[in-house]
């Protein structure tokens, strides 16, 4: 499904382009997850251009965890990064870094080992 996060035009002399990605695996003990897929920034560079419709776009499924943000290239005073989980209706609920890690590390039924029942047990 196509996920859209609205952004605004930005000052390209101060800020990096907004970014978005879908989380792949997240190894225990690692501070950051692996990137499964990058999305795209669709918009214009430049500050104060009224009417610019800028947004981030990525393909993701319900339950996927995404992360988006923008870097301040002059000192990080207004750098931002945000995690979210994709809901079944295509909306994104923002979540904390800790919750994103918890969800990424939680095993799914496909990842659990199967237990064979022995005869007579």
Closest CA to 16 of 57, 76, 83: 76
Local confidence band at 107 (pLDDT 50, 70, 90 cut-offs):
low
Alpha-carbon distances of 56 from 7, 28, 70, 115, rounded to whole Å: 7, 29, 11, 43
**Domains of the chain: which residue ranges?**
2-105
116 vs 73, residue with greater confidence: 73
Local confidence band at 68 (pLDDT 50, 70, 90 cut-offs):
very high
């Amino acid at each position: 499904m196509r996920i859209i996060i609205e952004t605004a035009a930005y000052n390209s002399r101060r800020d990096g382009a907004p970014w978005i990605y879908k989380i792949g695996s997240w190894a225990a003990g690692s501070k950051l997850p692996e990137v499964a897929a990058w999305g795209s920034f669709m918009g214009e560079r430049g500050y104060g251009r009224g009417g610019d419709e800028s947004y981030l776009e990525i393909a993701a499924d319900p339950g996927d965890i995404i992360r988006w943000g923008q870097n301040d290239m002059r000192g990080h005073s207004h750098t931002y990064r945000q995690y979210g989980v994709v809901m079944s209706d295509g909306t994104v609920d923002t979540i904390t870094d800790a919750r994103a890690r918890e969800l990424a590390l939680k095993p799914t039924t496909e990842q659990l080992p199967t237990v064979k029942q022995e005869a007579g047990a």
